[in-house]
Amino acid sequence: MHNLLSRRNALRGAGAASIMAAFARQLKHAGAAPDAGAKRLIVFWTPNGVVQDRFWPTGGVQDFTLGPALEALKPHRDSLTIVKGVTYSGTGDHKTGQPFSTSGFVADNAGVSIDQEIAAGVGQQSLVLCGQAKNENRRGFISFDKSGAWVTPIRSPQSAYESVFGPIGAGGGAPPPAGRDAELSNKILDAAIADIKDVEKRLPASELVKMEDHLAAILELKKKVGPGGPTTVSCDGVDGNVFAGEPDYPTRVKLHMDLIAACIACDARRIFSYMLAPAGGDGTGFGFLGVSGGDYHNDIAHGSPGDPAKEDMMHKVDLWHAEQLAYLISALKSIPEGAGTAFDNTVILWTSECTHGNHGHQNIPIVLAGNAGGTLKTGQFLSAGVKYENLLISLAHAVGHPLATFGLGGTGPASELLV
């Protein structure tokens, strides 16, 4: 009986963070430790806003008390900056808020998203995940590449794992044939690279981005070509079997966060875009939280402002989202790095596309967690005044990509955020 089952059972019974800690302790860096200056950004995105009056802290900038929705984040209070008063441009709906939340533009495909901008700026690839997939009406996308094209998120934990670490055992593909070694594996990818370079010479400028993306992806595969076989990345302690299969929604979310932790522990990725679920009515249900209705947004969130029963149910979902963020923070805090932990070099942006279940673009729920190597102030509650695009610029500065402008109106980093 391998790891997967025992671990699932454990997750049901025990405190998630302690399990994650045990998991993370098994992780060891494959080769050299990450560069001393390696910083991480995780965009942690939840849909449909929050129950406003249970979300925000009370008190002053330093002496604040977390709102009831953030109960799970209390142990991490001093690692947080909670930003109230952020207003998005756009028409106050899902459709314009969603692209604005990551790109600072009110339309899809209008500009690059912050994860992709930073990833390109620091020479990394962004790992783009979602808890639920929804492509039909464009609500499943929050990551845009530099040409504004959607970056399709990966839903299956197994696919996501394999995109970073290579096939799980022999199950992800054929077993390597006899005689197959790293040299031959490399030569196979080199043929694709040579073909890509041939194609680049013939393309009009507008099409080059396709081959640039493709080349970057193949170079990523080349990193996984190890001496023992064609496609394994060596990262001790990461058991790919844990990520196999088609788990239910809450289990899948945990696995996504475990994968983010594994990527950070092995320094396989530094930039992440994680949408827990798309906005609007997509049929996502929270029955596992005792929240009725098969379609959370339409049945519950949408009607929640002013309806105490629905607000109570939406609050349960808000609490659960905060628990997920707390789980992720704990996971990163359990990965040793330098004199501290991986969390010390990370910043997480929790954001959404709307104010509350019935839309709106004022007081967007924003929580920053982590100080990215001491570059961001934490332990503060800002009640007004940060321009959202400038907040995104500040994050770029914090992780080593000093952007000048961003989105529709970004003019520079926000002094309230940067140390």
Partner 1 sequence: MQLSWNGRYIWAGVMLASLGCQATISGGDDVGRGQSDGAGVAGSSTTGEPGNVGTSPLFEPLGGPDPIVCDPSKSRTGGRRIWRLTRQQYDNSTAALLGDSTARAKAFNPEPGSEQGFQNDAFSLRVRAAEASQFQAAARALASQTVAGDLGNITACAAQSLNDASCQTEFVGALGKRLFRRPLLDAEQQRYAELFAMGQLKRDALLGAEAVIEAMLQSPHFLYRFELGKDPVAGVVELTSWELASLLSYTFLGGPPDAELSSLAEAGALDVPATLEAQARRMLQTSAARPAAYELYRQLFELTQLPDIPKDEAVFPDFDGKRADLASSAQAFVQSVLFDEAGSSLQSLLTSKLSFVNQNLAPLFGVSGAGAVLAPVVLEEPARAGILTHPALMSVLGARTRTSPVNRGRFVREKLLCHIVPDPPEGTDTQVPPLAPALSARQQLDAKTGGEPCATCHARMNPIGFGFEKLDGVGRYRTEENGQAIDDSGSLTLTRDIDGAFQGANELATKLASSAQVHECLAVQGFRYVLGRPERGADACSIVAVRDRWVGANLDLKELLVALAGSEAYRLRSED
Residues 137 to 166 in contact with partner 1, rule: CB under 8 A? 138, 141, 144-152, 154, 159-160, 162-164, 166
CB of 22 to partner 1, least distance (A): 28
**Composition of the chain by helix, strand, coil, percent to 5:** 40, 10, 45
Contact 145, 116 (CB under 8 A): yes
CB of 257 to partner 1, least distance (A): 18
CB of 117 to partner 1, least distance (A): 6
Give the one residue of 206, 228, 248, 339 binding partner 1; rule: CB under 8 A.
206
22 counts as binding partner 1 under rule CB under 8 A = no
Q: According to CB under 8 A, which residues from 215 to 254 bind partner 1?
A: 216-218, 220-221, 230-231
Neighbours of 116 (CB within 10 A): 25
Packing angle of the helix pair 157-165, 249-265 (nearest 10 deg): 10
β-strands 336-337, 340-341 pairing: antiparallel
The 3-state DSSP class for residue 310 equals: helix
Q: Which is nearer to partner 1, 149 or 319 (CB)?
A: 149
As a whole number of angstroms, the distance between CA 108 and CA 219 comes to 28
Q: Which is nearer to partner 1, 93 or 239 (CB)?
A: 93
279 counts as binding partner 1 under rule CB under 8 A = no
Binding segment toward partner 1, per CB under 8 A, in 32-40, 329-337, 353-361, 365-373: 353-361
CB of 95 to partner 1, least distance (A): 5
Residue 205 tokens read as 């400028």
Q: Which is nearer to partner 1, 131 or 410 (CB)?
A: 410
Contact 329, 44 (CB under 8 A): no
Q: Which residues pair with 367 in a beta bridge?
A: 82, 350
Q: According to CB under 8 A, which residues from 299 to 328 bind partner 1?
A: 302-303
Binding string, residues 78-107; x marks residues near partner 1 by CB under 8 A: ------------xxxx-xx--------xxx
As a whole number of angstroms, the distance between CA 49 and CA 412 comes to 26
Binding string, residues 31-60; x marks residues near partner 1 by CB under 8 A: ------------------------------
Contact 57, 65 (CB under 8 A): yes
